[in-house]
Structure 1
């Protein structure tokens, strides 16, 4: 439910790295690891950092 509500903000916040980091955390909590990693990667790219979060 939180993820669905959060995803409605996608169009407005897609260029904001914290949006993708938050989405990644929600996906991780749901056990959706691959999608979570992709969202973390997007957040990192937007933030300009090359480090990856631990898996």
Structure 2
């Protein structure tokens, strides 16, 4: 019974760690895309205003 509970705890820890990993990956990608987009927009604005 104790072993089963430890197994369950371990499984939930693993899955939550995976979820956190996915969140980090998503966050990094969105930040990267956001940086690219803002750089492009700023570049285009500079072209327009020059």
TM > 0.5: no
TM-score range, shorter chain: 0.3 to 0.5
- With the length of structure 2 as denominator, give the TM-score of the two structures: 0.34
